[in-house]
């Protein structure tokens, strides 16, 4: 999958950058939390666990994961014949394509990946796969034959009756984040990974195809069948990744558990990207992983590293060869593409190359140009956000994809499009720090957020303090999103940017596999800081939900204020020309990150709500009052102890007399304190006793 090609570069003459992994990745620029496994995913894994085994040659054998129950497949040979006739018409128009097709078929037959199909028994179920050829844009002379499992016949296809399987692949962004952790970086590849896993013998008739006998276009067309899982079947990626992890786990006891972690955590499909503190550790890991996989007939090869000793420890056929006639002027050095990024090995930096193809000034052409910049880590977010804003501005009133856009906007679009060529001069360090992060005495993640009427943005830096007191700050990732056109308020946009910051921090903590001593957040909005620190007021739904999301992943004391002129996220929210990106603080972060120690960075400042009385996001405080009657001291149920009202009246009057006898004003009377009084009750005591009885009743 590696390709050597010449690309313009502005690196130093004695550097030799190479183009890294050549996969085409569609719309996967960020990590998404994977949903809980479905019932079908669980069934797929159960089928694999029960039926995958290693044969006598060491190769792993896996079934086609059929759904149960499923529809019986009809014999679709008639449809396959028509597709093959259409393919032969293409060959007559493109003789060069036929040569490449024959060469591809020769390889899979010679490698034992396909065999002549035996005759079918009466009423035996089978399926024929039509095939077609595809070309990689960067490999115009290499064809890949794809077997079309989605081709339907009588309303059904092979993919319809197969379980697709779970997404076992690592996050692309996560692999790249981990690739930047240490000083020595390595790239490796599994040779023809899909074809390394055999299909159960009783399932091979579902992978029949038509081709010429003895791979000779002049001979008759006969039935072949694949012996391995094919590129094009919907479950093939899940089967291949499952098989790869099963193979490496088999050798864990003999070759070490770190080989398992390398394959399970640092591979994207069949490409491995890992970084280690030293060349010795890198060589040791590669040798043990290669030996472990070799026992399962899986070849780990195409090694590339920024450490010369790493590639020097392996035979040349296991390494990616450099171009012999290398132009040391630095104008056309080889590059190595790392999943869409250009890695300059000599400088150990990432750079970018923009397409020089000029697309039509239509909605389709503008969208194609904007999306052509592959930037999974958001290194170019201040540049690409301007392109997306232009796209929205140019197409806001148009629905047709191919109608020319207004001519008065053409100059503005051309200025941005042509500025992308400057990105070839941009060099972003691959590693977060020059020293190993595992030896840092203090490591913290610093995330900044900002918003404007155009966009919201966030950016994260890794700040490492070494034993010698040296502080290094490394760019981790950035992100920018267009602001909604519904014109929300700036405080609301700033709050959305803060949510973006905590989501970014969650992603980094999950993917980076690094113990962080602290995580700090910075914003230049004191309104948002007041919202986050608030414990007394209630908000309306929009603000409430976002503050709750922020508090799920952070504590208020982790949030700090930063001045706007020191906030690097301001570049993402307001955009920057490509020519100004390298000179800005986007990659370096604000100066105080380089100067302050981890202890002094903790300000301890608390933030109050800004003008809560006039803030429309704060719910008005409503006071509610309740009136509660006191429970009567005298319970009328006790009145039942008296047979007549007169006796009740005398008893209550006596209690009143005793109460009065304890008052200060009555201390001069002879009736003071508790005593047995034989005097008759006076009129006042009798009248008050009546009132007490009536109130109690």
Q: Mind listing the pLDDT tens digit for each residue in 152-192?
A: 999 999 999 999 999 999 999 999 999 999 999 999 999 99
Q: How many CA atoms lie within 13 A of 504 on its CB side?
A: 30
Task: Produce one character per residue of 556-586: b if its CB has 16 or more CB atoms within 10 Å, e if not.
Answer: bebbbebeeebbbbbbbbbbbebeebbeebb
- Of 165-169, 326-330, 459-463, the poorest mean pLDDT is in 326-330
Q: Is the pLDDT of residue 598 over 60?
A: no
Q: Tell me, what's the pLDDT at 603?
A: 58
Mean pLDDT of 572-599: 87
Name the most confidently modeled range: 20-24, 326-330, 489-493: 489-493
Strand order in the sheet with 455-465: 471-482, 455-465, 442-451, 518-523, 559-561
Q: What confidence category does residue 444 fall into, taking pLDDT thresholds of 50, 70 and 90?
A: very high
Q: What confidence category does residue 220 fall into, taking pLDDT thresholds of 50, 70 and 90?
A: very high
Q: What confidence category does residue 276 fall into, taking pLDDT thresholds of 50, 70 and 90?
A: very high
Q: Mind listing the pLDDT tens digit for each residue in 94-130?
A: 999 999 999 999 999 999 999 999 999 988 999 999 9
DSSP 94: -
Q: Tell me, what's the pLDDT at 10?
A: 27
> What is the Cα–Cα distance from 182 to 185, expressed in whole angstroms?
7
Q: Mind listing the pLDDT tens digit for each residue in 366-411?
A: 998 998 888 999 999 999 999 999 999 888 777 788 888 888 889 9
Q: Tell me, what's the pLDDT at 138?
A: 66
List all residues 6 or more positions away from 469 whose beta carbon is below 8 Å from its beta carbon: none
pTM above 0.85, yes or no: no
CA angle 162, 165, 166 (to 5 degrees): 165
Higher-pLDDT residue of 24 and 507 is: 507
Higher-pLDDT residue of 359 and 631 is: 359
> What is the Cα–Cα distance from 345 to 15, expressed in whole angstroms?
8
DSSP 206: G
The widest CA-to-CA distance across the chain, in whole angstroms, is: 141
Q: Is the pLDDT of residue 568 over 60?
A: yes
């Amino acid at each position: 999958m590696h390709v050597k090609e010449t690309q313009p570069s502005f690196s130093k003459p004695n550097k030799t950058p190479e183009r890294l992994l050549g996969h085409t990745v569609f719309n996967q620029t960020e990590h998404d939390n994977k949903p809980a496994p479905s019932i079908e995913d669980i069934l797929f894994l159960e089928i694999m666990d029960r039926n995958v085994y290693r044969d006598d040659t060491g190769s792993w054998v896996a079934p086609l994961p059929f759904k149960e129950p499923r529809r019986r497949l009809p014999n679709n040979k008639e449809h396959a014949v028509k597709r093959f006739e259409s393919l032969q018409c293409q060959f007559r128009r493109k003789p060069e394509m036929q040569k490449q097709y024959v060469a591809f078929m020769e390889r899979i037959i010679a490698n034992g990946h396909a065999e002549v199909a035996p005759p079918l028994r009466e009423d035996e179920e089978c399926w024929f796969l039509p095939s077609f050829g595809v070309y990689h844009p960067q490999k115009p002379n290499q064809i890949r034959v794809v077997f079309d499992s989605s081709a339907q016949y009588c309303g059904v296809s092979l993919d319809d009756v197969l379980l697709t399987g779970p997404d076992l692949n690592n996050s692309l962004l996560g692999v790249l984040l981990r690739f930047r952790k240490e000083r020595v970086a390595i790239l490796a590849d599994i040779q023809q990974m899909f074809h390394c896993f055999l299909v159960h013998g009783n399932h091979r008739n579902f992978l029949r195809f038509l081709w010429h006998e003895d791979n000779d276009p002049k001979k008759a067309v006969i039935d072949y069948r694949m012996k391995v899982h094919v590129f094009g079947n919907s479950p093939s990626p899940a089967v291949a990744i499952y098989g790869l992890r099963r193979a490496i786990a088999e050798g864990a006891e003999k070759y070490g558990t770190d080989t398992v972690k390398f394959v399970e955590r640092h591979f994207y499909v069949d490409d491995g990207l890992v970084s280690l503190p030293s060349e010795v550790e890198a060589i040791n890991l590669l040798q043990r992983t290669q030996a472990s996989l070799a026992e399962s007939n899986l070849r780990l090869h195409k090694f590339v590293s920024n450490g010369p000793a790493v590639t020097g420890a392996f035979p040349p056929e296991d390494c990616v060869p450099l171009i012999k006639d290398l132009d040391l002027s630095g104008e056309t050095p080889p590059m190595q593409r790392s999943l869409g990024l250009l890695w300059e090995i000599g400088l150990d930096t990432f750079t970018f190359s923009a397409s020089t193809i000029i697309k039509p000034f239509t909605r389709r052409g503008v969208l194609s140009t904007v999306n052509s910049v592959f930037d999974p880590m958001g290194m170019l977010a201040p540049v690409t956000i301007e392109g997306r804003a232009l796209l929205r501005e140019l197409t806001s009133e148009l629905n047709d994809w191919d109608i020319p856009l207004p001519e008065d906007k053409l100059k503005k679009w051309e200025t941005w499009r042509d500025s992308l060529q400057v990105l070839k001069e941009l060099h972003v360090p691959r590693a977060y720090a020059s020293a190993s992060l595992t030896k840092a005495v203090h490591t913290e993640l610093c995330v900044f957020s900002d918003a404007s009427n155009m966009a919201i943005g966030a950016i994260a830096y890794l700040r490492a303090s070494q034993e010698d007191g040296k502080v290094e700050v490394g760019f981790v990732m950035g992100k920018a999103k267009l602001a909604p056109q519904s014109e929300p308020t700036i405080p609301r946009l700033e709050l959305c940017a803060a949510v973006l910051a905590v989501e970014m921090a969650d992603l980094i903590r999950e993917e980076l596999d690094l113990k962080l001593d602290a995580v700090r957040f910075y914003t230049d909005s004191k309104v948002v800081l007041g919202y986050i620190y608030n414990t007394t007021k209630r908000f309306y739904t929009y603000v409430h939900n976002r503050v709750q999301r922020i508090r799920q992943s952070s504590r208020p004391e982790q949030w700090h204020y930063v001045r706007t002129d020191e906030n690097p996220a301001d570049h993402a929210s307001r955009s920057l020309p490509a020519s100004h990106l390298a000179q800005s603080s986007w990659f370096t972060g604000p100066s105080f990150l380089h100067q302050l120690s981890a202890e002094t960075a903790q300000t301890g400042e608390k933030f109050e709500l800004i003008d809560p009385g006039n803030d429309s996001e704060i719910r008005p405080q409503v006071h509610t009052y309740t009136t509660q009657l006191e429970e009567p001291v005298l319970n009328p149920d006790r009145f039942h102890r008296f047979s007549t009202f007169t006796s009740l009246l005398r008893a209550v009057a006596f209690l009143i007399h005793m109460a009065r006898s304890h008052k200060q004003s009555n201390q001069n009377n002879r009736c003071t304190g508790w005593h047995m009084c034989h005097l008759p009750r006076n009129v006042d005591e009798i009248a008050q006793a009546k009132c007490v009885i009536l109130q109690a009743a």
